[in-house]
Amino acid sequence: MDGAELVKRYLRGKNLEQLGRLDDAVVEYEAVIAERFDATGPYDRLIAIYAHQARHRDVIRVAGAALDRVRTHDSKIAYYERVRLEARRALAEVPSPLPRRSD
């Protein structure tokens, strides 16, 4: 995908999100970051959505991708590092499921 198509898909994702169609928005945002988009928008939106859904592994993945791909100011880089660290901590606090009982 070229840069213009990536921007269109990102904007489509934002419109879908505003309409409450989160699953469809996520598909668009994920497609954009899969192409190594270098602007913060889709990463920020995915982090917000996944954090709200307590999808800590996805927050870690997306924040890591942003750190790898996005060229931005130091405070934004610090934000991605902080979000990734907080998601790792939250993931560590999730209790493991108990084994099933066989009665």
pLDDT band at 103 (very low <50, low <70, confident <90, very high): low
Q: What is the CATH number of the domain that holds 60?
A: 1.25.40.10
- Angle in degrees, CA 24, 28, 30, rounded to 5: 110
**38-44 own/partner pairs: CB under 8 Å, 24+ apart:** 38/69, 38/70, 38/71, 39/10, 39/70, 40/66, 40/70, 40/72, 40/76, 41/10, 41/14, 42/10, 42/13, 43/70, 43/80
- Name the residue range of residue 87's domain: 3-91
Residue 63 counted as domain residue: yes
Domain count within the chain:
1
Q: Which is more confident, 36 or 95? A: 36
Output 96 or 78, whichever has higher pLDDT.
78
pLDDT value of residue 94: 76
Split at pLDDT 50, 70, 90, the class of 73 is very high
Does 78 map to a domain? yes
Answer yes or no: is 100 within a domain.
no
Give me the pLDDT at residue 53, please: 97
pLDDT for residue 67 is more than 90: yes
